[in-house]
Structure 1
C-alpha cells in the first residue's frame, strides 16, 4: 500500500482533534458584476496565500431564493500549514497565538476593506465599506442583530406566506422585529443629523453673503445679527441634541422592556402549553415527550435554547416548572385512583355495568 500524499491536509495531521483548514467568509459588494466579484475574492485569496504561504480554495455563493438579493459572498478555505516543495510543512501559528492572532485578523479585515474600496472606485461605484465597528468609526447608529440561519429561514418563509396572502410583510422573529425598530431609529437619527447640517449650512451661507457686501454699516449689522442667530442656532442645536439623546435612551429602554415582556409572555404561554400536553399523555409516554422537549445532549439542548424566548435560563426554568407540575398531577392522579378503589361499586350487584370511570390518555406526542 502506497503512503498518503504529502500534500493531503487530512493525512498530514496526526492528532484526532487537529484543525486541517481555516475558513474566511467574505461579503462581496452587490454593486459589482459576477466577474468583478470573482476577481475580488480571488485577489484576497492570493494575498492570504502570499502572506502565509498556504494553499487556498475559493467558493462563490449567490443569494438564496427569497433571501436578500445583495447577499453575494465567498467562502475561502486555506490549509493550516505552509505549502513547501515536497508537501505541507509547518503550522501557521501566527493566526493562533494569543498575542498575534487578534492583530493579524484585524489586518486581514483592513486588507479586505481596502481591496473592496479599490474595486468599487475602479468600477466607478459610489459605495464604500469600512471594516471598523460603528463605535470605532464614531457613527451614532445602533448596529443590527445577526439573524443567523434559523431566523433567516423562518423570516423568509413568513415573508413568502404573507406575499401569497397579499398581506404586508411584518417581521416574525424577535431579532427581525428588533432590527426593524433599530433601522427606524437610525433613519430618524440620520434625518435629525441632516436637519442640523442644513441649519449649519444656512448659517454659513448667510455669513458668506454678509462678507460679500461692501457696506461697512450693513456688514457690521449683519455680523451682529449673524452672531446672535449663530448663538441661537447653537443653543437650539445643543437642545435638540440633548432631547434626541433623551428620546433615544427612552426608546432603547422601552424597546428593552417590551422585548423582555414579550419574551416572558411567550415563555409562559409555551410552558402552559407543554404542561397541558404532557398531562394529557399516558404515564409511560410522558418521559419520552419531556426528553424530546428538554434533551440532555449539549448540542440538542443548545438548539432548543436558541429557539426559546428566554434562552438557556428560560429553558432550564421551564423544564423545572413542568416537571414539578407533572409530579403534582401524578400525585393527584394517584389519590383519585385510590379514592375510586375504596369507593363502593354501583350496579354490580344487579349485574349492571360499573359506573367508575378511568382517565383517558393520549398514546403519545403527536409529532
Structure 2
C-alpha cells in the first residue's frame, strides 16, 4: 500500500509528553486539511547518536478517507504547480506549532522553517547524513577510538559537513573580529579630540547640509514649476470658457433681436420688459441664466435696444417712402429687413 511520509524533528527542549502532543497536533492538522488517515510513530535518539535527535515519522494515505473506504487521490501534494507551495505551507505550520509549544513552556529556543539564505543568515547549511551515512560514521568513529586515533569523517556527506562547519566557524570568527574592530574604531572616533577628526566631521556635516539644501531647492523648484503649469492650465481653461460664453452670448443677442423684430411695434416693449426686467430680483434671475452674467445681460439689452431703434427708424423711413410713392408703383409687403452693417455683427462683449 502506498503512503506519504512526514519526518518531524521534535524539540529536545520539551519532555516526552509534550513532544508526543506536538507530533499528534501536526498529524491532526494534516488529516483535517487533506481528509487522509495518519499514523504517528515517535522515535528517541539511537544509542551512540545525537541525544537531541527526537523525531517522529507520520505516515498518511495518498487518498482521502471516505465512509466507504479510500476515495480520490490528494493530487494537490503531487502536482507541479501546487506541490511546492503546499509543502512550504506545511513546513511553516510545523514551525509555528513548535514555537508556540516552546513559548508555552517558557523555552527560549525557536525554530525557523526557512533556509539560511531566506533568513539572511550568512552560513552554509549542513547536509542531512541519512541512516546509511550515519551508521558508517558511527562504526568508523568507534574503530578510530579503539585504535586511539583522532576521528576524521569518512563518508562524503560527513566530510562536506565538516568542511562547512569549519567554514562557518571561520566566518563567525571573522564576524566577531570585525565587530570588535568596528567597536574599537567607533570608540576611537567617539573619544577622538584631534582637530583633524573634528575638521573632517565638520566637512562631512557641511557637505550633508549642502546636499540637503540642494534637495530642498530642487523640491521647491519642482513645486514652483508644477504651480506654474497648473496656473497656465487654469488660465487656458478660463480663456476657453470665456470664449464659449462670449459666442453663446452673441448667439443669444442675435436671437433676441430677431424675436423682437418679428413682433408688432406695440408688442416689442412688453417683450423687452419680460426679457430685461427692471425689478432687481427678476433681473438677478435673468442674469444668473445669462452666459456672461449681469454685465452680459446689460450689454445685451443695450445692443438689442440699439438694433431695434435703428430698425424702427428704417421702418418709419420706408413707410414714408411708400406713402409718397405713386399708388401703382407701391410695392407689397412690409418694411425692408436690411440692417446697418455696423450692427449686424452684434455687440462686443470683451
TM-score (norm 1): 0.50
Note if contact 1:26-1:74 (Cα within 8 Å) is conserved in structure 2.
yes
Name 2:127's counterpart in structure 1: 145
CA separation in 1, counterparts of 2:106 and 2:63?
38
Change (3 A) 1:22 1:198: same
Name 2:337's counterpart in structure 1: none
TM-score (norm 2): 0.52
Q: Specify the SS of the correspondent of 1:144.
A: coil
Name 1:164's counterpart in structure 2: 146
Change (3 A) 1:195 1:53: same
RMSD (Å) for aligned C-alpha atoms:
2.7
Change (3 A) 1:196 1:122: farther
CA separation in 2, counterparts of 1:93 and 1:123?
37
Change (3 A) 1:62 1:192: same
CA separation in 2, counterparts of 1:31 and 1:113?
15
Name 1:7's counterpart in structure 2: none
Name 2:96's counterpart in structure 1: 114
Larger of the two Rg values belongs to structure? 2
Q: Structure 1 residue 67 and structure 2 residue 49: aligned?
A: yes
* Residue 103 (structure 1) aligned to one of 80, 85, 93: 85
Q: Specify the SS of the correspondent of 2:103.
A: helix
Note if contact 1:27-1:72 (Cα within 8 Å) is conserved in structure 2.
yes
Q: Specify the SS of the correspondent of 2:48.
A: coil
CA separation in 1, counterparts of 2:198 and 2:108?
39
Note if contact 1:56-1:76 (Cα within 8 Å) is conserved in structure 2.
yes
Name 2:38's counterpart in structure 1: 56
Q: Structure 1 residue 194 and structure 2 residue 164: aligned?
A: no
Unaligned runs of 5+ in 1: 1-9, 11-19, 211-217, 229-367
CA separation in 2, counterparts of 1:137 and 1:154?
33
Name 1:174's counterpart in structure 2: 156
Name 2:116's counterpart in structure 1: 134
C-alpha distance after superposition, 1:237-286 (max 9, x if no partner): xxxxxxxxxxxxxxxxxxxxxxxxxxxxxxxxxxxxxxxxxxxxxxxxxx
C-alpha distance after superposition, 1:48-91 (max 9, x if no partner): 11111211110011111112222211100111222233433222
Q: Specify the SS of the correspondent of 1:90.
A: strand
Q: Displacement of 1:222 after TM fit?
A: 6.4
Change (3 A) 1:33 1:154: same
Aligned residues: 203
CA separation in 2, counterparts of 1:223 and 1:81?
74
Name 2:59's counterpart in structure 1: 77
